[in-house]
Amino acid sequence: MTPDRIVRALRRRWPVVAALSLLAAALGVLSAAVTPPVYRSTVTSILAVSSFDGVSNVTSAANVINTVAPTLAEISTSRSMLDSVAADTGIPAEEIAAHITVSNPTDTLLIVVRATGSSPDQAEAIAAAATDALAEHASSMNVTIGSTNVHLSLSEVDASPTALLIGPSKSRNGAIGLIVGGWLGLAATLALETGQRTMHANPSPQPRPNRP
């Protein structure tokens, strides 16, 4: 079908496109309205490195960036870590794993904890409990770099004061529905036009009258 025919088809059948677009947008908004909200709280901490005499060591810090910090982020999925967060929040450990994401940005001593929840309070509580559990684990680690025993501590440098709503979004779902509905309307319009042209090109044969 040529572009001119598509334009003419859309002019004739624009109500089909409009109706499907509005219907899909309404369904998108409705799905967002009935889906439970998800909030996210973020806590960023820095992994401090010092020898047991309290002196910071740049070389030790560089080594910890490459070894200990990534390991500490991986520990967030350990059973002991999940049990600790579960005990503080009252949420089963089996569910906690789905709510927590811990990362260590490349070449940094930063540990970023992101926690989701069905309410702002729940998200903030999970993030705080996970950060506390990681801090306790870091302080209990025995780390030797070279011939030096170093002490690790985790200190918050940035915490979101309030958990943010990350989904579902009525406006986003509605916009997606509007776009999808528009494409469906276009497809339906082209299908109707193609079917109509086929019928006109191949009319049904008329029955012949019976001769006496």
In a domain, 211, yes or no: no
Name which of 122-131, 160-169, 179-188 the model is least confident about.
160-169
pLDDT the model gives residue 58: 42
Domain boundaries, position 185: 3-35+168-195
Residue 137 predicted with pLDDT over 80: yes
In a domain, 210, yes or no: no
Considering the domain architecture, whether residues 30 and 106 belong to the same structural domain is answered as no
Considering the domain architecture, whether residues 74 and 135 belong to the same structural domain is answered as yes
In a domain, 95, yes or no: yes
The whole-angstrom separation of Cα 39 and Cα 115 is 8
In a domain, 163, yes or no: yes
Residue predicted with more confidence, 64 or 178: 178
Q: Over the chain, what is the mean pLDDT?
A: 80
Residue 51 — φ and ψ, nearest 5°? -75, 170
pLDDT the model gives residue 40: 93
Mean predicted confidence (pLDDT) in 146-154: 72
The whole-angstrom separation of Cα 62 and Cα 208 is 95
Assess whether the previous peptide bond of 203 is cis (omega < 30° from 0): no
- DSSP-derived 3-state class of residue 141: coil
Instruction: Give residue-wise pLDDT tens across range 43-91.
Output: 998 887 776 554 444 445 666 677 778 888 888 888 888 899 999 999 9
Residue 170 predicted with pLDDT over 90: no
Considering the domain architecture, whether residues 82 and 10 belong to the same structural domain is answered as no
The b-or-e profile of 123-162 (16+ CB within 10 A means b, else e) is bbbbbbbbbbbbbebbeeeebebeeeebbbebeeeeebee
In a domain, 202, yes or no: no
Residue 123 predicted with pLDDT over 60: yes
Q: Which residues contact 90 (CB under 8 A, 6 or more apart)?
A: none
Considering the domain architecture, whether residues 99 and 186 belong to the same structural domain is answered as no
Instruction: Give residue-wise pLDDT tens across range 4-32.
Output: 777 887 888 888 888 888 888 888 888 87
Residue predicted with more confidence, 161 or 42: 42
pTM check: above 0.85: no
In a domain, 23, yes or no: yes
pLDDT the model gives residue 209: 55
Residues of the chain above pLDDT 70, percent: 80
pLDDT the model gives residue 154: 83
Report CA 57 to chain centroid distance, whole Å.
Answer: 38
Residue 116 predicted with pLDDT over 80: yes
Residue predicted with more confidence, 10 or 124: 124
pLDDT the model gives residue 59: 44
Number of domains the chain contains: 2
